[in-house]
Structure 1
């Protein structure tokens, strides 16, 4: 009998889908799109010549074959990760300084820190939060090693890779009630911010009247104003919480584009530990 090698990446995604019982939720965990996860599972089923999932309502449940594979998949992925840690574990004298925008700290960074702690338990990571201008300047001066932020920065000094592309939607507090015809009350970050310009452009292009109801310099301020019912803001779906909601599509608000979280590093200088983090969190 001839054997084929099973793809570790496919098995890792398979475990995530099996545990979450949902392609969309699993996609967030493995930092891929839902479509990519679906394609991966189709590829795995083709390689094994069996059906691994069946739909039950909105959930994905394991078939008998899928249940049989799950234990093997967990052991294979676990052994792979153990081997990687054993072969790459080393002492780190200096912390890796990672700069990030507030939205990244609120959504992506916690999961990345968890990954780093599991793979590089001896590594220290220093997170510095700032805005785009400060982040790019600090990266250029070598004061930080890596930067995670939104939107592309056209600078040949930096290598960049897209970590995740997320849909942007209109978010409001649970107590907010939309008033058709009235100027849309906007809750915005003051100063340069991609969501600030996105809100104003989309409403202006759609000839929908708007007003700035609240401005703040922090993401915490945005959340507080939304929870108070002061208005709406465009934000990625990662910001949603039990006391926040997506504005009803029937409210007539314009559609918003997607936005990408990107990882930036200097092309001329990157420490071994910073390179390790970059490789770990970059999509494979």
Structure 2
């Protein structure tokens, strides 16, 4: 087994057919087929369902594909480190759909401007799959909220610690956060993510029962609904920091509740300097709520 075969396997998975994969890796279709047959012979297992057209990866093939991603990532990191070219190549970033994702494009642009030879790929997904992809080497880092279950071979570094606030539509009479939540219709953040659980737990602890008028799973859409007058809601401060004069805003929680978002990465990486730089960019962009990079933090498991 060699990296050429693994790159071909990855190309087949990405492009769907041997012919298109051949174009991607600059081989003929017959050479691609020979590489895959040689790989199957060496491993003594079939990697493809050949009763389908085009052939598709079977369970063994999918398992090897995950290993191939990890090995090729490691090879690229090692080559870059040995050649002193850590600021070239590809930086693969994942992010959950968080209100802080608005900071990420600016941090990426700053990094790209500093290192024109660096390619940066961004993918948005669920925290569980992003963490698994970092662990497997398919991603260099992922932005996720503070949560349980970070594997021991990964580290999590917060770059923002921000308060949660209750917001009500423009023109709402002056009132407390509790009164806003108990007397106004409430647009609920409905999603299976740590932020939603944090909000629900504090509401229960405070004994607040809300009159829900809508359930929405993105913070940006919720803010738009409140701006249109649909009701009050609870959001991270960063979601409304550009609209501080537009809404009635009050602290949420007794005492006020904060949430953290940070970067998950492998313990060691040849791209560590880039990961630290993008962390620093995000912390600066978070303004008063930025968390400076001081020490590696493990989440509880």
Q: TM-score, normalised by structure 2?
A: 0.54
Whether 1:245 and 2:240 are equivalent positions in the alignment is: no
Alpha carbons of structure 1 residues 255 and 90: separation in structure 2 relative to 1, 3 Å: closer
Task: Name which of 110, 120, 132 aligns with 1:137.
Answer: 132
The aligned length equals 191
Q: Alpha-carbon deviation of 1:99? A: 0.8
Q: Quick one: distance in 2 between partners of 1:90 and 1:264?
A: 19
CA contact (8 A) 1:146 1:265 kept: yes
Whether 1:277 and 2:274 are equivalent positions in the alignment is: yes
Alpha carbons of structure 1 residues 277 and 255: separation in structure 2 relative to 1, 3 Å: same
Q: Alpha-carbon deviation of 1:147? A: 0.7
Alpha carbons of structure 1 residues 105 and 205: separation in structure 2 relative to 1, 3 Å: closer
Q: CA RMSD in A?
A: 3.1
Q: Deviations over 1:46-65 (max 9, x none)?
A: xxxxxxxxxxxxxxxxxxxx
Alpha carbons of structure 1 residues 217 and 182: separation in structure 2 relative to 1, 3 Å: closer
Q: Deviations over 1:202-250 (max 9, x none)?
A: 222222221332222333322322222223332222111337535246x
CA contact (8 A) 1:214 1:225 kept: no
Per the alignment, in what secondary structure is the counterpart of residue 94 of structure 2?
strand
* 1:1-284 aligned within 5 A: 92-93=88-89, 95-103=90-98, 105-153=100-148, 154-176=150-172, 182=182, 185-240=185-240, 241-242=242-243, 244-248=246-250, 254-267=254-267, 270=269, 272=270, 274-282=271-279, 283-284=292-293
Q: Quick one: distance in 2 between partners of 1:109 and 1:172?
A: 27
Alpha carbons of structure 1 residues 238 and 149: separation in structure 2 relative to 1, 3 Å: same
CA contact (8 A) 2:87 2:115 kept: no
Q: Alpha-carbon deviation of 1:280? A: 0.7
User: Which has the larger Rg?
Assistant: 2
- Report what 2:16 is aligned to: none
CA contact (8 A) 2:227 2:247 kept: no
Per the alignment, in what secondary structure is the counterpart of residue 144 of structure 1?
coil
Per the alignment, in what secondary structure is the counterpart of residue 259 of structure 2?
strand
Q: Alpha-carbon deviation of 1:132? A: 1.8
Q: Deviations over 1:169-205 (max 9, x none)?
A: 2233325567668455332333312232222222222
CA contact (8 A) 2:184 2:211 kept: yes
Alpha carbons of structure 1 residues 188 and 141: separation in structure 2 relative to 1, 3 Å: farther
Q: Which runs of 5+ in 2 are unaligned?
A: 1-83, 280-291, 294-301
Higher relative contact order (CA 8 A, sep 6+): 2
Q: Alpha-carbon deviation of 1:119? A: 2.2
Q: Quick one: distance in 1 between partners of 2:132 and 2:246?
A: 34
CA contact (8 A) 2:219 2:235 kept: no
Per the alignment, in what secondary structure is the counterpart of residue 247 of structure 2?
strand
